[in-house]
Every structure is written in structure tokens, then in C-alpha cells.
């Protein structure tokens, strides 16, 4: 998912880096003019807009910005957080509101929930086990809980689910991710490793298996219903007196 962070504060870079660590692609705009140019040329999945910008008011920018035609939900960030400001924001077209100081864990959750609501309507998806992966956006749902995936990992998962029941070679994944003449097999291995960990932490019952020196495949883990007990063999010794 690609986010635009419209923020002029020195902490904007740190927030952008932390959001990237959570799997988002983040672009920064430090001014209203820069934001207008970026929204006009790039399609974003969500926009984070600070109310306090140099030479511009966040709400005024939102009214002038072609954000809604961009099709992206807007999260307003403010250090004030007063009821009149929030009301004005929602009336102008804000979809969610966050007050400073930002608690990253809560903020990331709110972004994911908003994106899940935004893209979770009439969507085409690839389903396997308890996982549903959006066909166009790097968002998956596991037990109906949203999981935002880095774009490359979502692409790999989409490739494997589309070809379920088959082993997909590393070279095939490499070509589809990086181009016909690319040689990035090590990168493919790294992405698959990260994707496995991410899915496991989220509780997916989808397993990415490896066929040595060949490629990868997906399958659904069998539900653990408890171990069956083996019948106990009799170990009584026969006495010679009983013969």
C-alpha cells in the first residue's frame, strides 16, 4: 500500500521510516505545493495530512487538493484535536482523525482498518484456507482481520495462490517480479522468508513449502485435532508355570 504523508515537522521522516517498517510504501510532501504535485501524478492508497503546514492550513489544502478524485481515504493528524476542528475536518472530507502525539501501534491499526474498509467492499480476491488476498492491492484478510503486505510479498503470494497445486520455480517468480533478464534469486528467497514469518504471526493456515532447488508451493496446514493414541501393547510376561 502506498501512502502520502503530508507533514512539514522534523519528525515526519521518523514517522515515514516507522510506517515503512510496517510494510507501507511512504512518500513525503513537506508543503502544500509539493502535495498537490504528487497527488496529481501518483495514485495513493491513503493520504495522511497534518493540519499544521507552512503557508497553508491542512483543511484548506484538503478542500483544494484533488484528493477525492484520487480515490484515496484521508487521515487527518492534528496537535489540537478540538471538537470544532474534527467536525470541520469530517465536513471537508476527512475519513479518520488522529491526535498528536501519535501512538504508532494504534495509528498503524487505524490505517489498516481504514484501508480494509476502503478496499474491502466489492473486491476480487484469491482465497486459500483462512486467507483472502485482494487481487489488485497488497492487502490480505486472515479470519477477516486485515493484513497489509509489502508489495513484493503480496505479488509472490498472489503468484503462488494462482498456481496452487503446482511448484513455481524461483526463476519464474524472479522474472515476474523483476523482469525477463533480472537475476535476483536471492531477493526472491528473502521475500519468501519474510512472507512466511508475516503469515505465521498473523495466524494464517496457509503454508509456503519449498521443493529443494526447484521452487515454492502453497498448501493449507491441516488442523491439529490432537494426537491419536497408539494402542498399548501388552507387555505382560508369560510365566512358565502357566504352560
Architecture per CATH, domain 2-119, reads as 3-Layer(aba) Sandwich (3.40)
Query: What residues contact residue 161 under an 8 Å CB cut-off, 6+ apart?
Result: 126, 128, 133, 218
* Residue 219 β-bridge partners: 207
d(CA 194, CA 207): 13
Query: What residues contact residue 47 under an 8 Å CB cut-off, 6+ apart?
Result: 3, 4, 6, 39, 67, 70, 72, 73, 74, 75
Residue 175 grid coordinates: 522474472
Supply the DSSP string of 46-76, one letter for each residue: EEEEESEETTEEHHHHHHHSTHHHHT--EEE
CB–CB of 204/143 below 8 Å?
no
Q: Decide which of 227 and 202 is more confident.
A: 202
Query: What residues contact residue 184 under an 8 Å CB cut-off, 6+ apart?
Result: 174, 177, 178
Q: Is the pLDDT of residue 154 over 70?
A: yes
CB–CB of 113/146 below 8 Å?
yes
Residue 231 grid coordinates: 494402542
Q: Is the pLDDT of residue 209 over 80?
A: yes
Say which DSSP state 9 is in.
Answer: S
> What pLDDT shows up at residue 240?
45
Helix (H) or strand (E) holding 78: strand 74-78
CB–CB of 1/25 below 8 Å?
yes
CATH code assigned to 125-220? 1.10.10.10
Average pLDDT score over residue span 197-216: 91
Q: For 216, list phi and psi in degrees, rounded to 5.
A: -130, 155
Task: Identify which of 203, 222, 218 has the alpha carbon closest to the alpha carbon of residue 140.
Answer: 203
At 196, is the pLDDT very low, low, confident or very high (cuts 50, 70, 90)? very high
Mean pLDDT of the chain: 77
> What pLDDT shows up at residue 190?
93
Q: How far apart are the first and last CA of the chain?
A: 80
Find the range with the poorest average confidence among 17-31, 87-101, 103-117, 213-227: 87-101
Supply the DSSP string of 90-157, one letter for each residue: HHHT-SEEEESSP-HHHHHHHHHHHHHHHHSSS--EEEETTEEEESSSSEEEETTEEEE--HHHHHHH
CB–CB of 74/47 below 8 Å?
yes
Residue-wise pLDDT for 86-122, tens only, equals: 666 666 667 888 877 778 888 888 888 787 777 655 4
Domain boundaries in the chain? 2-119, 125-220
> What pLDDT shows up at residue 59?
67
Q: Quickly count: other Cβ atoms within 10 Å of residue 206's Cβ.
A: 25
Amino acid at each position: 500500500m502506498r501512502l502520502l504523508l503530508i507533514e512539514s515537522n522534523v519528525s515526519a521522516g521518523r514517522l515515514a521510516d516507522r510506517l515503512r517498517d510496517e510494510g507501507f510504501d511512504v512518500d513525503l510532501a513537506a508543503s502544500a505545493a509539493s502535495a498537490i504535485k504528487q497527488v496529481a501524478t501518483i495514485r495513493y492508497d491513503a493520504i495522511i495530512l497534518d493540519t499544521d503546514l507552512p503557508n497553508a492550513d491542512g483543511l484548506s489544502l484538503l478542500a483544494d487538493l484533488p484528493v477525492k478524485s484520487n480515490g484515496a481515504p484521508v487521515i487527518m493528524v492534528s496537535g489540537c484535536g478540538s471538537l470544532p476542528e474534527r467536525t470541520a475536518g469530517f465536513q471537508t472530507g476527512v475519513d479518520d482523525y488522529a491526535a498528536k502525539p501519535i501512538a504508532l501501534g494504534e495509528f498503524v491499526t487505524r490505517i489498516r482498518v481504514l484501508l480494509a474498509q476502503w478496499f474491502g467492499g466489492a473486491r476480487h480476491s484469491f482465497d486459500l484456507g483462512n486467507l483472502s488476498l485482494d487481487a489488485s492491492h497488497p492487502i490480505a484478510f486472515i479470519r477477516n482481520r486485515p493484513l497489509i503486505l509489502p508489495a513484493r510479498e503480496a505479488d509472490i503470494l498472489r503468484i503462488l495462490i494462482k498456481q496452487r497445486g503446482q511448484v513455481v520455480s524461483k526463476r519464474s517468480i524472479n522474472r515476474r517480479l523483476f523482469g525477463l533478464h533480472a537475476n535476483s534469486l536471492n531477493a526472491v528467497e528473502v521475500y519468501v522468508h519474510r512472507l512466511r514469518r508475516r503469515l505465521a504471526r498473523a495466524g494464517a493456515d496457509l503454508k509456503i513449502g519449498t521443493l529443494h532447488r526447484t521452487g515454492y508451493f502453497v498448501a493449507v496446514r491441516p488442523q491439529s485435532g490432537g494426537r491419536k493414541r497408539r494402542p498399548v501393547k501388552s507387555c505382560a510376561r508369560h510365566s512358565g508355570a502357566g504352560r
